[in-house]
Amino acid sequence: MAGEMSFARVLIANRGEIARRIQRGCRKLGLETVAVFSEADRNAPFVGEADHAVCIGRAAPSESYLNIDAILGAARATGAGAVHPGYGFLSENAGFAAAVEAAGLVFIGPEPGAMAMMGSKIEANAAAEAAGVPVLPGYRGEDQSDARLLEEARALGTPFLVKASAGGGGRGMRLVTDLADAPEAIASARSEAKGAFGDAAVFLERYAPCARHVEVQVLGDSHGTVLHLGDRDCSLQRNHQKLIEEAPAADLPEALRDDMRSAAVRLAQSIHYRSAGTVEYLYDPARGEYYFLEMNTRLQVEHTVTEAITGIDLVEWQLRIARGEALSQSDVQFDGHAIEVRIAAESPAENFRPETGRITLWAPPAGVRLDSGVAAGSIVGHHYDSMLAKLIVHAPDRAGAIRQAVAAIDAFAVGGVGLNLSYQRALLTHPEFQAFRHHTSGLAELFPDGWAKPTPAAQDMALTAVALHQHLSPSGASPWERLGSWRLTDPAGRPGAASYWNSSEDEPIRVTGAGALLSTILPDGQSIETEAAALTGDRLSGRIEGVPFSRVAHIERAGDHWRVHLQTPAGMTVTDLRTLEDQHLARAGVGAGGADLLTAPMPGAVAEVRVTPGDRIAAGDTLVVLEAMKLLQSLPAPCAGVVTEIFCAPGDTVAGHAPLVKLDPEEQT
């Protein structure tokens, strides 16, 4: 494919953030795009942003994004001249690449033969050895009998890995630390490999327990030129899935770095590699050695950090190379340090439980690169990978990049679906990561007692209540003048009060004060004074004890309560709060009263509460004194009985029909 290839329309055989990323690359070159989408993705951003879009099946990947016939049919129907596979799904399927070319289309990626060779880890290791690339000691022979594998296991010694030849992402992989466990490890690895990849072949490889994952980006054209674009470190992983990636790989001996890069180019040249690819290594700092791990024959998730430090648009060059253009930049320049944080819909504090639902708030930070597949209103379902977006920062050095990444996470507010941002922040700020002492299997060492999501400190909780307080008040007036029945004005010289309930607390957070000075009283009795508090756009500002503050703050309605996203020194916190009305409705359902429930006859302020839970009262006894329209009204008990719950306190404001006191009526005889 050394000649010029012409195409004006590219079908993107993928979804989410990578589909949008490829669309941007196509627009840069004036190429039209075709999105293929499943029924579940009909309203996804990548569909609406494409020039053409075709539904190719139901939500299950096997019925859509893995359906080769449907994808090729969409290409024919829309007149696409080329197909870009993105990453994941069919991106490293040599059969798909061959089918694209057989259909007369351009496959934006490597030759199917090179893809097939690197897709077999046994063949890939053989090719690496032939190219003079160091490989880990192990067994990669064709004899797959139990007897031969166990014999080789004994010769290799523990610890070692059983790995699927066609595997990836940790699937079909088993660690053996005791030879007695080898038969079961081999059997289970085979079984998983067969189910996941349709190939039960396995191989054995020495295990490097504290290794780092270092990879080299290569770019090859159809004219025999192969360049390296530097290296990356992807050592922070969970279950062999990368969490945070950075470029360049820090703390590498320069001679070893140069050797890794040269070895990657040699391997790519030896297989006549075309397009973007990544040669991955394990680096053993204790031995000062590196070993070939695999070659990814596609664009990597973490390609963004290489783009950041080189200024080279990898998607653009994939498209140019696919058109037959020759690489024009032989002297690649590197600048600064870049970090990518993968943003996933999961709950790390709950054993990384996947999160699904509708994104109600999507407020990313400004000034940094965000490759995202979602927006406010997007539905996160269970059919696809949990990664929704990638946050990429670039700074002169690694420490600066870490600071930028943390600052960006601290300003990122998302509602409706839980994300792993707080966990990623904890990784970035961990001393082991900052000192570059982490490794591929060391995640558990960072949090030996587990990881818990941070909770707001006292001052942060106070500001959370103040943020909601200001949100519920139109701008330009004192908070005590602008909330109608929901806030108590001060006609008699008595300061106003508002209460907000956190679901984890029985006692409310109370905000009192007048003018520019607010006092927030927490359930534990702490009192924090805020001066000149104002919520403007997405920022809460003011002073505490004379010290100015300015925090990112987003408020959203979430069902029967308010959700406050507040930037704090520990990161972005999310707190659910209920107003007095919300609390009433949550405890008592709708606000209509019955024989056992005292309700407010009209909006007003609670002047007195004359009972406590457990009091026995007679019908007609005064339970609450309400101030409304400058008059005090005594509200009598609707029946005799025992007070079971009180939904208000002196100083609270209430709406008409709001529940005030609940009774357990006496039985009538």
Q: Report the CATH number that the domain containing residue 658 is assigned in CATH.
A: 2.40.50.100
Are residues 574 and 596 both part of a single domain?
no
CA pseudo-torsion sign 286, 290, 295, 299: positive
445 token code pair: 């060492």
Neighbouring CB atoms inside 10 A of 458's CB total: 13
Place of tokens 């059983």: 162
Classify 162 in phi/psi space as left (phi over 0), alpha (psi -120 to 50) or beta: beta
278 in Cβ contact with 293 (< 8 Å): no
475 token code pair: 């701008």
Distance CA(223)–CA(1), nearest Å, equals: 8
Distance CA(325)–CA(96), nearest Å, equals: 23
Classify 518 in phi/psi space as left (phi over 0), alpha (psi -120 to 50) or beta: beta
Domain count, the chain: 5
Query: Model confidence over 517-554: pLDDT tens digits?
Result: 999 999 999 999 999 999 999 999 999 989 999 999 99
Classify 416 in phi/psi space as left (phi over 0), alpha (psi -120 to 50) or beta: left
Are residues 557 and 442 both part of a single domain?
no
345 in Cβ contact with 355 (< 8 Å): yes
Q: Alpha helices, DSSP H only, in 165-237?
A: 182-197
Distance CA(215)–CA(293), nearest Å, equals: 9
User: Which residues is 603 bridged to in the sheet?
Assistant: none
Q: Report the CATH number that the domain containing residue 101 is assigned in CATH.
A: 3.40.50.20
Distance CA(438)–CA(442), nearest Å, equals: 6
In a domain, 656, yes or no: yes
Distance CA(57)–CA(517), nearest Å, equals: 59
Classify 428 in phi/psi space as left (phi over 0), alpha (psi -120 to 50) or beta: alpha
- Judged by DSSP in three states, 176 sits in strand
Place of tokens 């329309």: 9
Are residues 264 and 316 both part of a single domain?
yes
- For the chain, which ranges sit under pLDDT 50? 1, 476-495, 588-593, 629, 669
| Strand ranges of the sheet holding 138-139, from the earlier edge strand across to the other edge | 138-139, 202-206, 160-164, 173-176
- 337-366 burial, b if ≥16 CB within 10 A, otherwise e? bbbbbbbbbbbbbeebebbeeebbbbbbbe
Q: Alpha helices, DSSP H only, in 56-145?
A: 68-78, 94-102, 112-119, 121-130
Domain limits at 354?
212-446
Are residues 159 and 270 both part of a single domain?
no
In a domain, 226, yes or no: yes
In a domain, 3, yes or no: no
pLDDT at 587: 60
Cβ contacts of 341 within 8 Å, gap of 6 or more: 243, 244, 390, 391, 392, 405, 409, 421, 424, 428
C-alpha of 492 from chain center: 51
Count Cα neighbours of 230 within 13 Å in the Cβ-side half-sphere: 27
Last residue within a domain, chosen from 517, 543, 578: 578
316 token code pair: 């653009």
Distance CA(470)–CA(444), nearest Å, equals: 42
Distance CA(318)–CA(276), nearest Å, equals: 6
Are residues 270 and 404 both part of a single domain?
yes
In a domain, 4, yes or no: no
Distance CA(212)–CA(594), nearest Å, equals: 67
Are residues 250 and 148 both part of a single domain?
no
Are residues 463 and 541 both part of a single domain?
yes
In a domain, 124, yes or no: no
Q: Alpha helices, DSSP H only, in 203-302?
A: 254-270
- Judged by DSSP in three states, 667 sits in coil
Distance CA(271)–CA(111), nearest Å, equals: 10
511 in Cβ contact with 584 (< 8 Å): no
Among residues 453, 476, 524, 118, the alpha carbon closest in space to that of 295 is found at: 118
Are residues 229 and 341 both part of a single domain?
yes
| Strand ranges of the sheet holding 659-665, from the earlier edge strand across to the other edge | 597-599, 659-665, 641-646, 616-617
Place of tokens 């191989």: 203
Q: Report the CATH number that the domain containing residue 547 is assigned in CATH.
A: 3.30.700
In a domain, 128, yes or no: no
Among residues 7, 61, 59, the alpha carbon closest in space to that of 29 is found at: 7
406 in Cβ contact with 454 (< 8 Å): no
pLDDT at 589: 43
Q: What angle do CA 317, 123, 241 make, to 5 degrees?
A: 65
In a domain, 292, yes or no: yes
Are residues 606 and 572 both part of a single domain?
no
537 token code pair: 């756009």
Last residue within a domain, chosen from 578, 596, 615: 578
In a domain, 118, yes or no: no
pLDDT at 219: 97
393 token code pair: 């920062």
Are residues 548 and 603 both part of a single domain?
no
pLDDT at 208: 83
Distance CA(496)–CA(651), nearest Å, equals: 6
3-state helix vs strand vs coil in the chain, percent to 5: 25, 35, 40
Cβ contacts of 37 within 8 Å, gap of 6 or more: 15, 44, 46, 47, 53, 54, 55, 56, 64
Last residue within a domain, chosen from 396, 420, 446: 446
Are residues 229 and 327 both part of a single domain?
yes
Query: Model confidence over 164-202: pLDDT tens digits?
Result: 988 766 788 899 999 999 999 999 999 988 888 888 999
Are residues 271 and 366 both part of a single domain?
yes
